[in-house]
Structure 1
Amino acid sequence: MPVVSTHRDDQALTLTVVSEFPASVDRVWRIWQDPRQVERWWGPPTWPATVDRYEFEAGGQVRYHMTGPDGEKARGWWTITAIDPPHRLEFDDGFAGEDGEPLPTDVPTHAVVTLEATDTGTRMTLVSHFASTDHLDQILAMGAAEGLREALGQVDLLLADAST
């Protein structure tokens, strides 16, 4: 399992997940850059993701949905707020309605992804920033930390696939 730590910080209103991968920073960056690769890991194994729109640039819009074991769909969105390839990506992340667009009542999180080289590959740190303790509690109660851990558990197989 590539996740090495998960830390909730109630003072900073953040959830930090640190993962390590036996691949170069450039290779790990591609799991974010390529929508077909995002689909192979963004959702947990029982809720695979499908990317419907992917504009990988500052200001770009991403629309996706995850399909559950019974066929139900959970829709989400990102607005990419900053990119510094191949080391940093920032985006707002939230829930979407049936049309794939952000729900007007949704409170998004702000995610900051950093990639840094290590002696054995790459350390990826994902920090999610929340609007309040209630918001953090709500998202964690939905199983977000476990889902992210499961999703990241799929990355090693993706990185080992020579066709990607």
Structure 2
Amino acid sequence: MPVTSVTVDPEALTLTLIADVAATPERLWRAFTEPAQLERFWGPPGWPASFTRFDFTVGGIASYHMTGPRGELAHARWEFLVIDAPHRFEVLDTFADENGDSVPDMPGMRATFAVEPTPTGARLVSVSHFVSVEALEQMLAMGMREGFTMAISQLDAVLRDLRDYALGAGTQVEVLDDTHVRITRLIEGPRELVWRAHHEPELLKTWLLGPDGWEMTIAEPGLAAGDTYRYAWAPVEGGEGQAFGFEGDTLVVDAPRRVVTTERMTGMPGPSTLNDLTLYEEDGVTLLTLLIEYPDAATRDMILATGMTEGMERSYQRLDALAAV
């Protein structure tokens, strides 16, 4: 995790975040000054950013929104006040409406982003300045410290070449907190094909099978927000095991980038999980990231203990083979 410290100074009215990365200062600068790079991490897990405007000049405006896992939209904007490339830039950071205009009754801040060389790479020092104690406390109560930390903690995957970062690593599982788990897997194929493989029934039945000896008997994906979906599996003839299935609702579709669904076992009572799948392509390979939100830690641990990761890896190996055809 690149974040090394987050400190709040109520007297100076500041929040300071420091992150150290194993990348050159120039590479870190690019991550913060190119919208395609920013969209990969600017926003905590489950709230990815989309930049609709990015005028990186003094007096220029960057407009963006973050889309929550249930389709919620949070708009914001930067006004660039100072640019000292490739060392430092400063923005006026405010909430915005759907037109990109600042919302005056919401707290804003002046934020600086400085990039410094270190013996092992580069350091980001970001200082947010608030106009009052009330504004600082309001932003902290809204979860700014936690959200900012989680967003910057995603930098490692952005700064490294995807093949170097994930190729050969298999299915990786990170427990983020009591209710969130992040699963990543590099697929040797383009994003468009990986998206189709998740949404076309004939393709789903070729790879989403879990351990050997099972077949997918029902593949009814939800293709648009508001749709329901249904999947079911059974052992092949003569195999051992009991048929089962999952069903849920499709909440967000941003093809071919992101889809968010609920998931529950067919015929079983109880709360659903929330599955947030994102796909990012670079140099012909696709990084698949699945953020799962569980109702509680006990449910999280119970599901992880079922061998879920091993079954997913076997399926992703089939998806690799499909992408290679």
TM-score (norm 1): 0.96
Does 1:15 find its partner at 2:15?
A: yes
Q: RMSD of aligned C-alpha atoms?
A: 1.2
The aligned residue for residue 25 of structure 1 is: 25
Shift of 1:107: 3.5
Q: Distance in 1 between matches of 2:11 and 2:145?
A: 18
**TM-fit CA distance, 1:161:** 2.6
The equivalent residue for 2:213 is none
Structure 2 counterpart of 1:133, which letter?
Answer: V
How far residue 100 of structure 1 moved from its aligned partner, in angstroms, is 2.0
Higher alpha-carbon deviation: 100-109 or 64-73: 100-109
Partner of 1:105: 105
Q: Distance in 1 between matches of 2:65 and 2:33?
A: 17
Gaps of 5+ in 2: 163-281, 284-325
Pairing 1:104-143 to 2, within 5 Å after superposition: 104-143=104-143
Partner of 1:2: 2
The amino acid of 1:70's aligned partner reads R
Alignment match, 2:196: none
- Distance, in Å, in 2 between the alignment partners of 1:62 and 1:13 is 24
Does the 8 A contact of 2:63 with 2:76 survive in 1?
Answer: yes
Q: Distance in 2 between matches of 1:105 and 1:15?
A: 21
1:30, distance to aligned residue in structure 2 (A) = 0.1
Q: 1:49-128 to 2 correspondence within 5 Å?
A: 49-128=49-128
SS across alignment from 1:81: strand
- Letter in structure 1 aligned against 2:18: V
Q: Which runs of 5+ in 1 are unaligned?
A: none
The code of the aligned residue for 2:79 comes to: T
Q: Tell me how far apart the structure 2 counterparts of residues 107 and 138 of structure 1 sit (CA, whole Å).
A: 8
Other structure's SS at 1:50 match: strand
Name the amino acid aligned to 2:74.
A
Q: Distance in 1 between matches of 2:38 and 2:58?
A: 17
Task: Tell me how far apart the structure 1 counterparts of residues 120 and 29 of structure 2 sit (CA, whole Å).
Answer: 16
Q: Shift in Å at residue 106 of structure 1?
A: 3.2
| Cα distance between partner residues in 1 of 2:39 and 2:70 | 19
Aligned identity (percent) is 46
Q: Number of paired residues?
A: 164
| Alpha-carbon distance in structure 2 between the residues aligned to 1:45 and 1:38 | 13
Distance in 2 (alpha carbons) for counterparts of 1:14 and 1:63: 23
State the 1:152 CA deviation.
0.5
Q: Per-residue deviation at 1:98?
A: 2.2
Q: CA deviation at 1:105?
A: 2.4
- For 2:15 and 2:48, the matched residues in 1 are separated by 22
AA partner of residue 80 (structure 2): I
Larger RCO: Structure 1 or Structure 2 (Cα < 8 Å, ≥ 6 residues apart)? 1
| Runs of 4+ displaced beyond 3 Å | none
What amino acid does structure 2 have at the position aligned with 1:78? W
Which amino acid in 1 is paired with 2:66?
A: M
Alignment-mate amino acid for residue 40 of structure 1: R
